[in-house]
Amino acid sequence: MLHIENLTKRFGANVAVDNASFVVDRPMMIGIIGASGAGKSTLLRMMNRLSDASDGSIIFKDRDVTRLQGKAKREWQSECAMIFQQFNLVPRMDVVSNVLHGTLNKRSTMATLFNLYPTEDIHRAIEILDRLGIAEHAPKRAEALSGGQQQRVAIARALMQDPQIILADEPIASLDPMNAQIVMEALRRIFEEDGRTVIANLHTLDTARRYCDRVIGMRQGRIVFDGTPDQLTTGVARDIYGAGAEFSEEATSTEIGALDRPARTLEAV
Ligand SMILES: Nc1ncnc2c1ncn2[C@@H]1O[C@H](COP(=O)(O)OP(=O)(O)OP(=O)(O)O)[C@@H](O)[C@H]1O
Ligand SMILES: [Mg+2]
């Protein structure tokens, strides 16, 4: 389905992503972990084409999306929607309009200019907000919502594009633990119920092992681990984060990971 082949990004002499390769052969939820500066954001940004690769390729369903331009590139960005740590909503605009912004790639300039949204799109936006448990906030300005609610609006905006892949760059880094859980559960449901692939950069090992089927570990631009949460032992974690990093056995034990993980419907895959 998705083939990342020798993807590389250089910033001058600095190699931010170094020959990264992996294959996603069916919808799944993937967590990317690694220390600050490991190249996680750069990898996602290249996949979404926010940033151009220096080398290598991104193949989705036999289509090379690495060097698409113009309309074709915008279409890919709809198929492969991205959400961010800081939500990137328009703060003074109401929630439902923020969600409808997710259709911008598909609309004419005139329609956009006059804020003309088809009724069916408005209904769909409300349905998506309802699914995420925030329909009651639809008329409010985005800035009036809590961080967790704003991130769910950003997820709704992404879903409005009906993407096959959702890329999430540290989606819960600005949230308290309860909101973090709500947002991660929402992403998990989107994978399980819709069969969309979710690839999330995550700060903590625990979150990755709790919600993801597969974990990719990056260190200094390279992929140094690619496996299941159960394979993510303390030794592997040290490899990813560097020898000096400290991990409690509890944080990396397979039992804890298995117990904490929400019930999964793998049949849906
Ligand atoms: N626009 C840029 N110009 C120059 N160097 C950059 C740019 N973006 C990223 N880098 C460098 O690329 C490397 C990887 O950065 P990246 O932001 O991808 O790391 P990260 O794993 O997402 O880190 P964090 O956990 O802090 O978000 C770093 O050395 C960073 O300084
Ligand atoms: Mg980052």
How far does the centroid of ligand 1 lie from the alpha carbon of residue 24, in Å?
24
Q: What is the pLDDT of residue 257?
A: 36
Per-residue confidence (pLDDT) for residue 103, from 0 to 100: 77
- How far apart CA 212 and CA 206 sit, in angstroms, is 10
Query: CA dist 5 to 59, 62, 67, Å?
Result: 8, 13, 14
Question: Is any atom of ligand 1 closer than 6 Å to the C-beta of 46?
Answer: no
pLDDT score, position 94:
93
The candidate with the shortest Cα–Cα distance to 134, out of 165, 164, 155, 161, is: 155
How many angstroms separate the CA atoms of 49 and 234, rounded?
34
Tell me the C-alpha distance between 197 and 81, whole Å.
11
- CA contacts within 13 A on the Cβ side of 247: 21
Q: Spell out the per-residue pLDDT of the chain, length 269, in tens.
A: 999 999 999 999 999 999 999 999 999 999 999 999 999 999 999 999 999 999 999 999 999 999 999 999 999 999 999 999 999 999 999 999 999 987 766 665 555 555 667 888 899 999 999 999 999 999 999 999 999 999 999 999 999 999 999 999 999 999 999 999 999 999 999 999 999 999 999 988 999 999 999 999 999 999 999 999 999 988 899 889 986 666 654 444 333 333 333 333 333 22
Q: How many CB atoms lie within 10 A of CB 75?
A: 15
CA 234 – CA 174 distance, rounded (Å): 26
Q: In what order do the strands lie in the sheet with 197-201?
A: 80-84, 165-169, 197-201, 29-33, 214-219, 222-227
Res 244: pLDDT:
64
Instruction: Name the H helices within the chain.
Output: 40-47, 70-79, 95-100, 109-113, 119-131, 147-159, 177-194, 205-211, 234-241, 249-252, 254-260
Tokens matching residue 63? 């289509």
Note the pLDDT of residue 158: 95
Cβ(40) – ligand 1 distance below 6 Å: yes
Strand partners, 83: 168
Residues 112 and 104 sit within 8 Å (Cβ to Cβ): yes
Atom of ligand 1 nearest to the CA of 38: 21
Q: Which residue type sits at 76?
A: W
Could you tell me if 77 and 119 are in contact, meaning their C-beta atoms sit under 8 angstroms apart? Answer: no
Query: Tell me, what's the pLDDT at 263?
Result: 35
Atom in ligand 1 nearest the alpha carbon of residue 35: 25
Ligand 1 pocket residue status of 42, Cβ below 6 Å: yes
CA of 34 to the centre of ligand 1 (A): 12
Pocket test for ligand 1, best of 8, 9, 10, 14 (most atoms within 8 A of CB): 14
Cβ 37 under 6 angstroms from ligand 1: yes
For residue 11, the enclosing domain spans: 2-268
Q: Which of 154, 116, 113, 149 is nearest to 134 (CA)?
A: 149
Report d(CA 182, CA 172) in Å as an integer. Answer: 10
Q: How far is CA 218 from CA 15, 78, 127, 242, 245, in A?
A: 13, 26, 37, 11, 14
The token pair at 225 is 């681990």
> How far does residue 83's CA lie from ligand 2's centre (Å)?
12
What's the domain count of the chain? 1
Total-model pTM: 0.89
Q: Which residues of 199-224 are buried (b: 16+ CB within 10 A; e: fewer)?
A: bbbbbebbbbbbbbbbbbbbbebebe
CATH number at residue 151: 3.40.50.300
